[in-house]
Every structure is written in C-alpha cells, then in structure tokens.
Structure 1
C-alpha cells in the first residue's frame, strides 16, 4: 500500500494512505486522525471529510489498508466516497469474505473489483529480504526468515526489522545470521494479536503453553480451549496426536502479553508435561524440555542435556551444542563425552572466532585425560583427528592423534575404527592409505563413521564396485544414528553421487546434484556448499568452466560458513582453476593465496592447482610443459595419494593435449585396473586410441562422451582428429566433419575448457544457420525448410550459402558428408 501511495505521488496524484487498526476501531473517524493534508475542521464530522475529498476527486486516489479494522464512521466515509462520490480508491483487506458488509456490497454491486495478492515466491521473498538488509543472509537464516514471513511482504519487512532491533539478526562475515528465532516489530505483533481477540483467558493460556513448547499432546489442552483455538485458526495438528501453533509469529505475541514471572511459571508447566511425554517414545519432547530448562535456569537432567548437545551438533546448531555441553561440564568436569561434544562444536565455530578454535583444543585435551574406556578414548581421538584435519588442515597431526590412541585401546572394534580413520586422513593429507574394511555391524556413531569412510574410500581409491556395494548398507543405517554424525547424511549422499559420476554418466550425475542443491536450499542450507562444490567440479572437468566458476564462488562462501566435510579449501582451488580457465588470472592468484598452507597437501587441492597451472602453461603456448605438469600430478595422485580416479582424470587432460600420451595411457590403464568404472574405461579407450592414432575408435569415444555428457572430451577429441586428418593426408571433407562436430558442441556450451590446441576457428554457424544446415543434411528442400521456419525460400538460400561458406563445402552432398545425415 505504501509503495502504491509513493508511486502515485511520483506520478502527480494526491494519494494519501489511511489504515484501520484494532486500537483505532473504537475511535470515531480514527482512521483519519492525524492526516496532515485535510483541512483543520475536516474531522468534525463524516460529511466534512467527504466534502474535503470530493473537492479533489479528479486528482486524488484514496488508499485504505485494513478496512476490516475501520471504525463505523470511517467505514461510512470510505463507502460513500467510493459508491457516491466515485473517488478512485485502493482498499486492502485480509480476505474479502470476512470484510465488513458494506465493503462486500460494494463488490457485489460492481463498485469494487477484487485483486487477490498471491504470496511472494521464495525467490521473490529472498530478493525483498536482501534489499531490506542490503546484504545476503546465511542460508539457514534465509530459510528461517522466509518460513516466518510466509510470502507476506509486510510480515517479511517487520520480521527483519524486529529481529535486527532485538539483536537477533546480526551481520557477520558470512552474511546476516540469526541468533535464535525471528521476532516481529511491535506493529506486526499488534496485527498478529488481532487474531486472538475474542478468545477467553483459558484459551490464551493454552496457546501460550503451545508457544513455549512448540507442540504438545492434544490431551494436555482442555477440549473447550483446543476447539476455541482451532476455530480461530491458531493451532494445527502435528503427527502422533499432537498440536502446535499455526503461525510462528504467534509465539512472540503470546510472549509479549505475559509478565516475566507468569512466563517462567508457564515454562515450568511445559517442562513437566514434555518430560512426562518423553517416556512415550518422543525424544524431541525431552530435548525441548531440557532446552527450556537450560534457557530458564530450571533444574536439568544432565544425561538428557548431554543428549540435547549431541543432537544439536548433528543438526548443525553448534552454538546450542556448545552451550548444552558446557552446562553439563559445569556440573561434572570429568565427563569426557561432554568435553568431546564441546570440542567438536567449538571446532566448527572456531572458523569464525580464533578463541573458540583454541577452546576446542583444550576440550579435546581434557576429554582425552578424562576418558576411562576404550570406546570413550576412541570417540575422543576420532573427533580430535577430525578437528585437526578439517579445521587446522593438519592431516599429519590427525594421524598422530589416531596412532597414539591405537596404542591405548585393546577392543578390536575400537581399533578398527581408529585404523579406518587413519587411512581416511592419510588420503586427505596426500600420504597414501589403503583399502578400508567396513565394520560388521552398525550400532554406534563411530561404526557409522567407519561404514561411511569405507564407502568414501571406494570412490577415492577404488574398486568402485566395493563403494557401490556399500551404498545399500549406508542407506539402511537408522536415521537417529546418522543424525549423531555431523555431516553424516551429506557424506552418504555425496558418496552415492561420486559413485554415479565415476560410471561416466555425467548427465545423470548433474541432474542428481542439481536436485541436491534445490533440496539443500529448501531444507538443509548447511549442506549447500557441498553440493555446489561437487557440481562445480563436475562442470569444470566435463562441460562448462563458466558455470564451474559461479558454483565454486558460491560453494566457497557457503563452506566458509558451514563446512562439515573439509571442502572449503578445495572449493577455493576449484574457483581458482575455473577463474584461470575463464580468463580471470588476478582473481585466480588471489584465491590460491587464500588457501591455508597446510591444506595445499590435500589431493583435491593439489589436483585442481595443477590443473590451473597446466592450463596457464597451455595458454602460454607451452603444451609440452603443461602435459608434464599434469602427468607429474597424475602419477603422485595414483601412487602416493592413492586417489585413483583423480589420477586418471588428470592424466586424461594430458592425453587431450596430445603430449605424453603413452605415459597418460599407462596411468589410465593402472587406474582402471585398480578402480574400474565406466568413466575410467572411456578415458582409457581415449588415451589408447590417441597413442596409436586410431581415428575410428576416437570417433566412437567422442560420440560416447557426448552422449554421456562429457562434452569437453568429445569436443577436444573431434578437434584433434580434424587436425590429425589434415596432417595425415585425409580428405578435406573428413577433417571438416570432425571440426564441425567439435564446433557444434562449442556452440552449445561456449564455456567449455578445452585442452586441444590449434589455430583459431573461423566464425561458427549462427543458431539459424545450424538449423538450416541440419535440415538440408536431412534432405529437406529449401521450400520445405522455408515453410518450417516461416521465412522465404530466398532467405533459406542465403542462410545455406553462409553455412556452406563457413563449413567449406560447395554442395548438399558435401554438406551431408561433413554434417552427417543424422545431424
């Protein structure tokens, strides 16, 4: 409404805005009180206001919001101005069917037209929120704010402003971050509160209990109160016979109407109800009870509070995990489990605050000293190793912690967990490793980690079939166990996506990763950077370097905020490689310099950095040096780091350059024998055919690569074949056919990073020229082509002539040989 008033004002119209309100509904002409542009005596009667507007009817548009909250006199004025004076007006109401009778009659008589306003889409709401804050929000915060606003522009603005005023929405280096729940401004709280008018005190008290608990069993609320709240659309059912508030902003209104003492009394009631209900198999009720007790200084159940801390850690709420674990430590400093959780939470938060990073080290040291059993020592060592490897980028330090723990435990299952973790961090540190055996059973978070590690090992070192065999077991792990492993669900899904990509089906992998990104944006923002990195990596090596750059930048930003998988440094390396491939050398250099020194040993960082350096050598017209750089890295990845697939993919880039092809073929054959999978089989066929200049096989490989979505390989292969055919005395038309196939792919994906070097190509066909040439190759006549495209035969003739000239052909017969009759 305000936007409409401002727009009309800029257009030279007088467009005053008035609004009904719950408080003003009892004041005659209350909606017009304070109007600066009305004569002094206008508020003396409805007739005076009507007269004042009638004198300006040709230049005035009346804007009235919340007409359902107008006092009787104001409503009379509005109806008379619209129906009798015919004053142009814009009236706002929550719902036409619940508007006052006089407004509905205006609609029935045709004096008003309904203009329903649909809620903003998530994309539109996100843009509004960013504009309001003049900056980005962290992904989780954006999700929480959009949920609170429900697509209502007014609610979104007031939630943003209220949350900033209350200190809940704070600006951080990762964007605006929400600390707690969104809160509305007093103005919005008043509007929300109008929904509760007419409810008796007992019903309001019941709603307040729900506001505190989030949800309660239906039987905990009296039947009369529950029905009254349902009629007012205040509550909605939850699974299992429970009920909750229908709108998240209702909680803040209900809180505002309670004194501190009364609210505290209600909290005590809710804690008692939830603790009692927790015995019926609803663990989240027990967690909510302990969270309320923690927030309001009520007696806590230490074991339940520790469970809350562990769950919060798995749900990426590290601040709550640290707070709950610290509260447990305050009651008993010898609890190794609490120190371990506090260390893990401080480790993640330490990405933002150096003091917390140091606190993490202290918690892990105390946890190690307090551990009394082999399972406790193992859990502490695994967590400490993850802290060192992911946050400190210290793979060697992680190995040292694990090997020390191996010397202090005797339990075979614990030893197996420690040994599998040692192999995992050896791989991350680029120090080799070996095959990881999966645990026989899965009954603890440590065994879940062991099973995930075995699966990840399969998609790093191979054999791929072993990783695929692990996937059903990973999917069968109970959700409550997976939830106790920070990032566990993401690692399982990532393993499945990597396994799919190594089959060679890039198109299917891309579709899956795009689905994961969409799902993360909606439900798991903390995972967004992982999926953006995975898709960016896929795009760089198989399709579109421009898209890889965009995805890499976004992934690096999101992983700087939340990184449970250690992919922040690789995301920086990915963005640097894509920046190099898209002619952004200065940015690429800055990105490389921002990678922490210990992380430069990560094989993913090594591979991408080598790719970037080789690309620059190739651009400097030093292809032999570029190939040597790639092959040195490929051999290291294969033999030392045991990243089999990465080694094969790096060697493939050298083969596409056409240098050190025999060496690349050797690496690829070794990689294929160790790891298997359709991707390495395709790349090995390519290198072997390149080594022997087997044009027929290369043509088949390029066609297969195109079908699978590995378009960079297809385009490079056909471009190399075009030049090779020219050198070996092949027909000119054959050479042009290969080059045309390469150019067609490049036209479809102009952002491809191609390793094939050659002279600059002449201007490629336009989209229309490609369509016409394709139809002509399929033996359509010029007249038929003209009819299909809705143009004249003359136009088709000119387009074909231009296509012939660019393709270097002089007849349709030559066109069919160059283009191929299958298009």
Structure 2
C-alpha cells in the first residue's frame, strides 16, 4: 500500500444541517463585487468542513480553488503555509516568489475566477499572509478564510480581515434537528429519541464534540443497535468541554497511534512518504479514518496534518522535553531520507536538529540561514548565521542590514574578506555599499566600495548584478540618473529584494508610474520580505505610483492595506513610509487637515536610524502640509532640519526645494514659489526625472501660468506614461490660452479622478475667466469641490474658490426646488411660509452662483454634487 492510499481510505461524517450556509457562502463568493468571506466559528463547530464544501461548490461552478492551511507547529516559519502556491524549486527562486506564484496561479486559472481557501488563518506566518494579500489583488483572487473568534487579533487575521468587502460570517453549533440527522447518517440507521436528545444536549451541537462522543460510545459498547435501533446504554459521561473530551480521546490511543500523532503534531505538515518511515501505514490509516489526521494534496505531494488544531496543541503540550528532542531528531532523519518536498525543507530539517540538541555541520546551518533570510525571517537568519562562525559573514551582515542595524552591519562588513570566494566578495561589497548609502548616509564611501570591487575582483565578477543594484541606488537617490532598467540575475535575499524596490523608484522617477503599477499588479515587482525599511519603501513607491498614474482611489485603499500590515509587523521605518503616502493621498484629495495626522505619525517615527531617503520624503511632505494649513514656521523648521542632514549633492534636495516652493505659495508669495518650482522642473527634465518634473512644473504653471512652463510640462507629459500628467498639461495650457472650454474639461477630468484640490483651483480660475457670464459652468463645480475639500482652499485661489456652504434647511429646499416644485408647494410640504421659502432660495442661488431653478437643477444633477449637496 502506498502513501496515496491515505488520501482515499478515510470515512468522513457527512455535512448535515448546513445547506443554508453553503448556499449563502457560495452566493457571496460568486458575487462580482465581493472580495471574499471570513468564516468565524468556535473550535469543533465545523467551519473547516463547511468551508471545504463551499470550496468544492466553487470548483464545481468553474472556479480554480487553491487551499492552504495555517499550522501552529510551524512556529512562524516564513512561507510555510504558502508552500502550495510556490514553485517546486527552492533556493534563489524564492527571491521572486511573488512573481512566480502570481504567474503560476494565473496560468492554472486560465480565464477562470480564482478562490484562495485559507483554513486556520490565525496560524499563517507573516510572509504567507503578505503573499495571500498580494495574490488577492494581483491575480485577482477571492478569499475564503476560516478562523476562531478568539484569534481575531492574531497578526494574520488583522491583516486579512479588513480587506475591502471581505464579509464576516459566523457559524454556530448545529440545531437539535441537524444533530439528530447527523447521528442517524453517521450510524446508518434509526436512533432512539432519548439517545438523540441526550447526545444533542451534552454536545451542545458541536460536531467535533459529537463525533468523539459517538466514537467513545461505540468503542466502549455503550452505543449499540438493539433490534435495528441504535441506543446508548448506561450513563453518558459529562465532560467539562471539548478540550477535555479531546484529551480523553488522545489518552485512549495505543502506543503506536500516539507516537504517529506526535510526529504529525510536531512536524505538520509532514510529507506522507517521510511519515510512513516513522509510523506503520495501517496506524496512519486508522488515525485518518478517525479524522485525527488529514491528508491534503499540494504542488509538492501529499502532506499530512492533524485533523483538528486541538489535537496538535494537546500532543505538543503533553510531550516531555526528552520526548520532544527525540521526535525532532527522528523527524529530521525522516525528511532528509525521504527528501521532503517544497521550499524550506532544509531549513526545517536544520531547525529540528538544533531543537534536538544535535551538532549540525556549518555548511548546513549556513544554507538554512540563507533560506530563512530568503523567506523574510531576518531574526532567525541572524541566529543561525552567528552559529556558523566566519563562514556566515555575508548572511549575518544581510540579516543585520535587513533589521536596519546599520552600524553593527558596517562593523562586520568593514573588514578584509579575502578568504571568501570571489562571488561572495561581490555580494559583500554590494551589501556594504547599500548599507553605507541607505542606512549610514555615506554615499561617497559607498561609491568607493563599488568602484574598488569592480577594480579588484576577477573579471568575471566585476559585472555582478548585485553591484549593479548598489550602483543604481547610488544613481537614483544620489546623482539622479537611472531609469530602473531590469537587472537580471540578482541573487541574495537582501540585495535581490532591494533590486525590486530600487527599480520601482527609478521607473517612477523616470516617468513610468503606470508601468510600475502594472509591475506590482502582475507580480514582476514586489516589496522585499527580508529588509523592513526597503519593504516599506517599495510599498510606498507602489502607492505613490498609483497616485502619479491617476489612480487616487486605488492608492488610498492600497496604502491603507499596506499600512495595516506594517503596523502588524511593527517596523518603524516601514510604518513611517506608509503613513507618509497616506498623507500624500489626502493632500492630493484636497484634505490637508486629514493628511497632517498621517504625516505627523511619519515624522514622529523617523530618527537618526531611519534611512535618509525616507527621512527626506517625510520631512518634505510634512513641511508642505504644515504650510498648506497656515503653519509657515513649522514648515520652515522641518525643511531646515532635513537640509542639514542630507549628503551634499544628493538629488533628494529637490524634494526639499519643492516643499519650499509650496510653502512660499501657501504663504502668499506665489511668484517666488512659481519661480522656484519652474527652475526645479527644468533641472528634473535635464535628469529625465519626468514624474518629479511634471509635479514641479504643474505647481509653477498653476501659480503663474506662462508658455515656457506649459511647453516644458507638455514635454514631460508626452514622454511619461501617466494620463494624469496629460491633464496637468491641459490645465496649464488652458490657463495660458484663457481657454474656458479646455479648462472645464481639465477640471472635470481631475475631479473625476479624485484630485479635488487642483480641480478646485481650475474651477476658481474658470470663475475668473467667466466672471461676467451668468450661470458660469464653474460655479457649480466650485461649490461641489469646496465641500469635497472640506473647507481647504489654496491661498492663491482664495476669494473666488471659497463658496459659502448651504445650511441643512437650504439644502432641503434646494432639492425640492430642483425637481420643479413651486414655492407654494415647498412651503406646504415643509410647513413654512412662502416668503421664508423664497428667502432661502435667494440665498441658495447666490451661494451656488445660479439665477434660477434651471441652474439649480444642473448643480444638483452633477455626479459629485449628489453627494456634496443635498
């Protein structure tokens, strides 16, 4: 008999009494506007069985369903739960796990919708959780998640449960009639009513509790048929709860069964082939028939887990220290001999041997440390690498850099490493250069390290792509050149992970935010797992690319999801970057008062240990927001502080220049702000930093429209890939040409994308252009946008762009008048005098810039007005 037999011999209790839930959940997952379902239920209530049935319904309905399970025994092992989604090859391929998983899932799905079924999600490790979130957006995929209610604050659940439109559905115990039907179906015949009532009462409708109690009664002979009718003979023992009952079940296991279940509990998920070398197949088949273990198919073969988390919890809790060491030793021997499939197998083997207090060869430890780092577990990688001694210097340094321990990493890297192979020396040089630049603000020394490596390494190593990553970082954040050209063959968890983030920034700067958005969507770009601050930078770059590509709503939702995940992980620099980008989104939406708390949070989280590019972005946006709210002194202080910290010659000074230009404009010096922004835009154009150029030139053109700025902005828009920049150019050209029609189109385009602040400026300029025109088309837009901006008006648009808000009574009367009702009918309906209605309408017309009911109807019929007015 082979391991495959395990998957086919189990006898399962039927699913009874859940037809309503199955139909409801299937309908939710079939709805196009639903992201998925979070199914919540107590231990043993049957949520996993219900989810399996729903998943099968989805499969039968044409969906591709991929199942993964959290498992407590993994102890947070990165990507352990996500193994079914990963390619079979391990090693360096894990550096591109997101892209590979995205491509593989899309290929398997073809044109079918995709469902990710995640059981016991509270035990998902952080890396698996992040991959699930990525696939949900990139594939896209719906989620069917199960969890216990007491685990809702687990990190994985906090990250998953707030996905937009993820519906929470609670599942309770079975009703008495369903318990009766389940017992009859399980026993295959009629059961006397007294037995049914007693079993339903003592189990409380918990299916797992019921199954174990029935099994116990059958084993003891108390539950047996008499004349074709099943009856319970004698007393049904009362148990304190499900845990006590499960403990009783486990105590009744014989020696071989207990040993087999202990292996599964400590090693789950276990490769079935490896498990068969530790326990006789008949024993395993017996455990599966009793559903104490279950067998799942994955891309890596058959994997065995405990049938319920409680079994694993109790088996691990009752093992002595000596028993645990022996179990881990035998597990490691078995998986090494069987070749446990899937990524991370070697890491698990080494960790098991270390847990067994065995001596492990240094090369094995070093490989495991690399694997841990590649899977995003820098803390575990550091611990393993330290035990590897001098041979682990690169991995140890990478683990330190990944934790932003820049000083400790430099102390390790600033030494002679001639004993290392040339390939390792190239990796050390690249890592040191990135650490010097990103963490220690020493770009000159970083450049010297790269130059020395390319001069002294053997010829075949001088073009090592890892050195290219360091050189690109120095260029993009230093001199300002570099377009994010793909760097092929980049290896190493830290340097390789940084490559994706640096490429994304370079491409955004070079005017390709839409390409970056597509890269994150398709999995070609991803936030690195190992390096927290670089992960935050990549995620923030994704959000910023969405903003600059004209997808402000998506930027806000994506930024919030990233921000929640960063708060869960607790890395200050990562949270700072995402707080920053949420603030940026709110500023573009015209709500600087909402932006300031995010930017304050970002400002509070950065310190001398925060990488200086992050500091620069945070202080620049913080200063500009303070200026927008009329706090010029705070803005100037923030700019001065950051200028003193920036390395000389860094292109990042442009962010501070832009903050200063915005601050001047908000302080009333529109001419000075325009002059500074225009000069900055020309500098950016010369560096081919088209996104920064478009941003700067757009500010200059709004403040003081002129033909040369409009031409430069159009050049940037034509060379970039963002439709938003086209609207920027249209807006400024309309101002230069005093073209009210083009200005109205630009205003409506910007407003439709959510960029309310600049749309408000366009509407204010239109009011100036059509100042003598009755019922100007811009006044309704001005009223609507004024409310969307929640009272914020840029200083240079004051006087025209600040319409008075309608009172509640005025809105009520305006709605009725817009339908054509005469004043008398409105007065009768609202129990007011006709004169009072007339006075209110007169004030409404003046506030909205219209002269009668026709103009009022046009204002209230505008899509944005339906929310803002009335």
User: TM (normalized to structure 1)?
Assistant: 0.64
CA contact under 8 A between 1:545 and 1:751: conserved in structure 2? no
Aligned counterpart, 1:548? 595
In structure 2, the CA distance between the partners of 1:151 and 1:816, relative to structure 1 (3 Å rule), is closer
1:552 Cα deviation (Å)? 3.7
Q: Which residue of 2 aligns with 1:665?
A: 710
Which whole-Å CA distance do the structure 1 matches of 2:712 and 2:600 have between them?
32
Match of 2:430 in 1: 382
Equivalence map 1:699-738=2 (5 Å): 699-726=744-771, 730-731=772-773, 733-734=775-776, 737-738=777-778
Deviates more, 1:694-703 or 1:580-589: 580-589
Matched, 1:268 2:333: no
| Among candidates 334, 337, 341, match of residue 281 of structure 1 | 341
- 1:638–1:644 contact (8 Å) kept in structure 2: yes
CA 1:767–1:663: 2 relative to 1, 3 Å: farther
| Aligned counterpart, 2:480 | 432
Note closer, same or farther for the CA distance 1:819–1:622 as it changes in structure 2 (3 Å cut): farther
Mark the CA change 1:348 to 1:652 in structure 2 (over 3 Å): closer, same or farther.
Answer: same
Structure with the bigger RCO (C-alpha within 8 Å, sep 6+) is 2
Contact 1:322 1:345 in 2 (8 A): yes
The change in CA–CA distance for 1:358 and 1:476 in structure 2 (over 3 A counts) is closer
Distance 1:783 1:305, change over 3 A: farther
Partner of 1:537: 584
Question: Superposition pairs for residues 60-75 of structure 1, below 5 Å?
Answer: none
For residues 386-420 of structure 1, the C-alpha deviation after alignment (integer angstroms, 9 at most, x for no partner) is 21222223333332322222223423883555345
* CA deviations over 1:334-355 (Å, ceiling 9, x no partner): x3xx312211221243x4xxxx
Alignment check: 8 A CA contact 1:549 1:574 kept: no
**Preserved contact between residue 340 and residue 363 of structure 1 (Cα < 8 Å):** no
Q: 2:803, 2:848 within 8 Å by CA — same for their partners in 1?
A: no
240-249 or 313-322, which deviates more: 240-249
| Deviation per residue, 1:276-327 (Å, 9 max, x gap) | 34x2432323211212333443222444433332232244322111111122
1:135-162 deviations in Å (ceiling 9; x for gaps):
xxxx969x99xx9994228999xxxxxx
Q: Check if 1:152 corresponds to 2:150.
A: yes
Q: Structure 2 vs 1, CA of residues 291 and 441 (structure 1 numbering), >3 Å: closer, same or farther? A: closer
Match of 1:283, SS state, is coil
Residues 1:807 and 2:861 are matched in the alignment: no
The equivalent of 2:553 in structure 1 is 507
Q: 1:756 aligns with which of 792, 796, 810?
A: 796
Q: What pairs with 1:38-117 in structure 2 (closer than 5 Å)?
A: none
Q: Report the Cα distance in structure 2 between the residues aligned to 1:773 and 1:245, rounded to whole angstroms.
A: 65
**SS where residue 354 of structure 2 aligns?**
helix
Q: Which whole-Å CA distance do the structure 2 matches of 1:450 and 1:762 have between them?
A: 49
Partner of 1:646: 692
Q: CA deviation at 1:714?
A: 0.8
For 2:43 and 2:585, the matched residues in 1 are separated by 48
Tell me which residue corresponds to 1:294.
354
Candidates 397, 409, 414, aligned match of 1:365: 414
- Where 1:243 maps in the other structure, the secondary structure is strand
Post-superposition shift, 1:609? Answer: 3.8
**Equivalent residue number for residue 697 of structure 1:** 742
Return the alpha-carbon distance in structure 2 between the equivalents of residues 510 and 716 of structure 1: 22
Q: Following TM superposition, by how much is the alpha carbon of 1:688 offset from its aligned partner in structure 2, in angstroms?
A: 2.0
Distance 1:201 1:593, change over 3 A: farther
Q: How far, CA to CA, are the matches of 1:549 and 1:388 in structure 2?
A: 31
Could you tell me which residue of structure 1 aligns to residue 373 of structure 2?
313
1:402 to 2:450 alignment: yes
Conserved in 2, the CA contact under 8 Å of 1:399 and 1:426?
no
3-state SS, counterpart of residue 407 of structure 1: helix
Kept in 2: contact 1:623–1:659 (CA 8 A): yes
* 8 A Cα contact 1:463 1:676, kept in partner: yes
Q: How does 1:180-579 map to 2 (within 5 A)?
A: 195-199=246-250, 200=253, 202=255, 203-218=257-272, 219-220=275-276, 221-222=279-280, 226=284, 235=293, 237-238=295-296, 239=298, 240-245=301-306, 254-277=315-338, 279-328=339-388, 330=389, 333=390, 335=391, 338-349=392-403, 351=404, 356-366=405-415, 368-373=417-422, 375-409=423-457, 410-411=459-460, 414-415=463-464, 418-419=467-468, 421-429=470-478, 431-439=479-487, 453-462=502-511, 475=523, 499-514=545-560, 531-553=578-600, 567=614, 569-579=616-626
**Whole-Å separation in 2 of the counterparts to 1:310 and 1:232:** 40
Gapped regions of structure 2 (runs ≥ 5): 1-41, 47-124, 131-144, 155-239, 866-870
For 1:741, the equivalent position in structure 2 comes to 781
Q: Which range moves more in the overlay, 204-213 or 679-688?
A: 204-213
Cα pair distance change 1:448/1:326, threshold 3 Å? closer
Distance, in Å, in 2 between the alignment partners of 1:210 and 1:416 is 43
Structure 1 stretch displaced more, 190-199 or 361-370: 190-199
**CA contact 2:823–2:838 (8 Å) conserved in 1:** yes
SS at match of 2:368: helix
* C-alpha distance in 2 between matches for 1:232 and 1:558: 53
Q: Secondary structure at the match of 1:244?
A: strand
Match of 2:701 among 635, 649, 655: 655
CA–CA separation in structure 2 for the residues paired with 1:362 and 1:731 = 71
Answer yes or no: is the 8 Å Cα contact 1:544–1:749 preserved in 2: yes
Number of the residue aligned with 1:680: 725
Offset at 1:649? 0.8
Q: What is the Cα deviation at residue 717 of structure 1?
A: 0.9
- Whole-Å separation in 2 of the counterparts to 1:697 and 1:494: 33
Structure 1: 5+ residue stretches without partners? 1-92, 98-138, 157-188
How far 1:755 sits from its partner (Å)?
Answer: 5.4
Structure 2: distance between partners of 1:771 and 1:439: 61
Distance in 2 separating the partners of 1:204 and 1:594: 65
Q: State the Cα distance separating 1:718 from its structure 2 match.
A: 0.7
Q: How many residues align?
A: 630
The whole-number CA distance in structure 2 between the counterparts of 1:638 and 1:155 is: 48
Aligned-residue offset at 1:274: 2.9
Partners of 1:440 and 1:96 lie apart in 2 by 50
CA shift for structure 1 position 702: 0.6
Cα distance change on mapping 1:600 and 1:244 into 2, 3 Å:
farther
Match of 1:628 in 2: 675
- Asked if structure 1 preserves the Cα contact closer than 8 Å seen for 2:705 and 2:735, the reply is no
- TM-score normalised to structure 2 length: 0.61
CA, structure 1 residues 576+779, in 2 after alignment: closer, same or farther (shift >3 Å)? Answer: same
8 Å Cα contact 2:441/2:611 also seen in 1: no
CA distance in 2, matches of 1:268, 1:245: 20
Q: Distance in 2 between the 1:264 and 1:781 partners?
A: 87
1:731 match: secondary structure: coil
Greater displacement, 804-813 / 583-592? 583-592
- 1:357-400 CA-to-partner distances (Å, cap 9, x unmatched) read 33311332347434432x33332222222212222233333323
Separation in 2, partners of 1:324, 1:257? 28
CA 1:512–1:208: 2 relative to 1, 3 Å: same
- State the Cα distance separating 1:662 from its structure 2 match: 4.3
- Looking at structure 2, the residues matched to 692 and 781 of structure 1 have their Cα atoms a distance apart, in angstroms, of 42
Task: Answer whether contact 1:315 1:486 (CA < 8 A) is retained.
Answer: no
CA distance in 2 between partners of 1:491 and 1:308 (Å): 27
